[in-house]
Amino acid sequence: NGTVNDMTFENNFIGLHILKDGQEVTDSRFLDNPYCGVKEEPGVIPVMINNLLEGSKFNYFSPERPEFTIELLNLRTGNERNR
């Protein structure tokens, strides 16, 4: 498992592409990435805590639910304070 903490992903086509279940992303910023700030693979569910996602076409992209919102992200077990 990997951990991303206090990182900035800005002006990338995809800010962070999560390929493996159980990754933890905390206190990071995903800003103005043209396609998406964070993209998860099918069946992969990261732990996201206290991250800022803004300015991307999709701030958070789940292929299983393209209309995924930050509010839905925060409802997942272990996730909180994402904005």
Strands (E), 1-83: 3-5, 8-10, 14-18, 24-26, 29-31, 36-40, 47-49, 52-54, 58-61
Mean pLDDT, to the nearest integer, of 69-73? 94
- Measured distance CA(72)–CA(8) in Å, rounded: 22
CA distance 16 to 52: 13
Would the pTM of this model clear 0.85, i.e. be above it? yes
Segment 8-67, tens digit of pLDDT: 999 999 999 999 988 999 999 999 999 999 999 999 999 999 999 999 999 999 998 878
